[in-house]
Structure 1
Amino acid sequence: MRVTQLVSECELGDCPTLYATDRGTLLVQGETPHDHGLRLPAHETVVEIPVDLIRKAIRDQLI
């Protein structure tokens, strides 16, 4: 899979980031919350990112 960084909260690569793949999908890097109360299958997870990260990607017409 080829991954391209779209938008990030920082330049260091260790903060919330949105990526595009060559599969036509998005990857999200963020904090893993443990107090969400959701029932997730073992092969899935959730991450928490700032809403402003999505707004910035839309504003910059990246998604």
Structure 2
Amino acid sequence: MRMRFLGSTSEAGACPTLYETDRGTIVVQGLQVTDAEALGDLRDVLDGEGAVEVPRELLTEIARRVLFDDQATAFPSSKETPTATG
């Protein structure tokens, strides 16, 4: 799997950061949610999954950029089904 940096709302390249993959998925880099009460609100968590907190502004800015401004440099769509380890 290859990843392309999409953006961050943090200073100096710190977390959270979003990446686009060549499999048509998004990877989130950030601090893990460790609050037990918050983790209790998650549904159907599989082995190997975790939760990362991301500011709403980051998601909306990247969605706007990827969907409307950046089509020429985006990875082509993949028909392959992504996996957590793939």
TM-score range relative to shorter protein? 0.7 to 0.9
Structure 2 residue 60 is the aligned partner of structure 1 residue 55: yes
Could you state the TM-score of these two structures normalised by the residue count of structure 2? 0.61
Unaligned runs of 5+ in 1: none
- Which is richer in strand? 1
- Which is richer in helix? 2
Could you state the TM-score of these two structures normalised by the residue count of structure 1? 0.79
Structure 2: which amino acid aligns with 1:8? S
Rg bigger for which structure?
2
Structure 1: which amino acid aligns with 2:13? G
Tell me which stretches of 4 or more aligned residues in structure 1 moved more than 6 Å. none
In the alignment of these two chains, the number of paired residues is 62
RMSD: 1.7
Distance 1:24 1:53 in 2: 18
Distance 1:53 1:3 in 2: 17
2:6 counterpart residue number: 6
Q: CA deviation at 1:44?
A: 1.0
Distance 2:12 2:30 in 1: 13
Unaligned runs of 5+ in 2: 68-86
Distance 2:11 2:22 in 1: 22
Distance 2:59 2:13 in 1: 17
- Percent same amino acid at aligned positions? 47
